[in-house]
Chains A and B, each alone.
Chain A
Amino acid sequence: MKRAFPILVFLVAAFLGYAAYQALVIAPTEQTMGNVQRIFYYHVPSAWTAFLLFSINFIASVTYLIRRNPSADAIALVSAEVGVVFCTVVLVTGPLWARPVWGIWWTWDVRLTSTLVLWLIYLSYLMLRRFSTSGQTPVLAAALAIFGALDVPLVYFSIWIFRTQHPQPVIGGGGSIDPRMMHVLLINWFAFLWLAALLCWSRYRLEYMRRELEETQALEALLEPRSSL
């Protein structure tokens, strides 16, 4: 698997390059917004990927609480971390689109605020995992993740439930989209899904190595003769 990793990195990078070419060159220019609309090809797939990763985190956290399975705990941690990275992209690209289109960087509208709250919840989840030294950290983190996951449907459905400034959804909502734009959007989403899978796999391997190292260190400490006594 070690040899396959550089090949996989190359394939994902090539797919992302192709997706960026589709977004910047092939996709038709939107008539009202112009080229700035192309931010949509990075903003929307990043949001969908973040939602997917937070959903995986929710399932893994519930599994951990029921079965106390260490692999489920590791999956929960990995999906939350990579999900925060994608959510950060959403929160950065959103204002960069809003400034030229709305004339403002940010507004305290339900969709934007709930996304910021979602990001803050998962950031606190990661901080809890990083800095807590309690043996109960995975249980506390799993409980926090379940509360965090409650915000995911609120973010997603907020544009149906509330009157917001955010554009309507392109799938299943009031908005519509040119089929060529939809094609480019889906290509970009698949490319970002591959990137997320690669990052998750790398992070999971790292977590596995870290846990093995900690176990070995604990075992060595137990076997070491107590010279101070």
Chain B
Amino acid sequence: MKFLYAAYISTWVIHLSYAGILLRRYICLKNEIAELRK
């Protein structure tokens, strides 16, 4: 059972980490655009 849970948890850790990376990039880009508009 521990291997099953490890596989499911690691899948979601990978996907959520990638979603987090995308969100961080989005915030950085938004800040850069806002600075350019000043």
Contact = CB atoms under 8 A, between A and B. Distances in A.
A42 B22 contact: no
Interface in A61-118: 82, 85, 88-89, 92-93, 96-97, 99-100
B3 A99 contact: yes
Given A206-B29, A210-B29, A213-B29, A89 B11 contact: yes
Contact of A96 (B10, B25, B26): B10
A217 interface: yes
- The number of chain A residues touching the other chain, given as a range, is 20 to 34
A88 B26 CA distance: 23
B22 A220 contact: no
B29 A92 contact: no
Contacts of A216: 36
Contact of B11 (A24, A92, A100, A209): A92
Nearest to B22: A202
Contacts of B8: 20, 24, 39, 42
B7 A88 contact: no
Contact of B26 (A38, A82, A85, A206): A206
Contact of A203 (B10, B22, B33, B36): B22
A213 B3 contact: no
A195 interface: yes
Given A85-B14, A89-B15, A93-B11, A38 B4 contact: yes
B19 A206 contact: no
A92 B36 CA distance: 41
Contact of A46 (B4, B11, B26): B11
Interface string B1-20: 10110111011001100110
A42 B7 contact: yes
Contacts of B18: 82, 85, 199
Contacts of B15: 85, 89, 195, 199
Given A93-B11, A217-B36, A36 B25 contact: no
A132 interface: no
A36 B4 contact: yes
A96 B7 contact: yes
Q: Which 4 A-B pairs have the closest CB atoms?
A: A96-B7, A39-B7, A93-B7, A85-B18
Interface of A: 20, 24, 35-36, 38-39, 42-43, 46, 82, 85, 88-89, 92-93, 96-97, 99-100, 195, 199, 202-203, 206, 209-210, 213, 216-217, 220
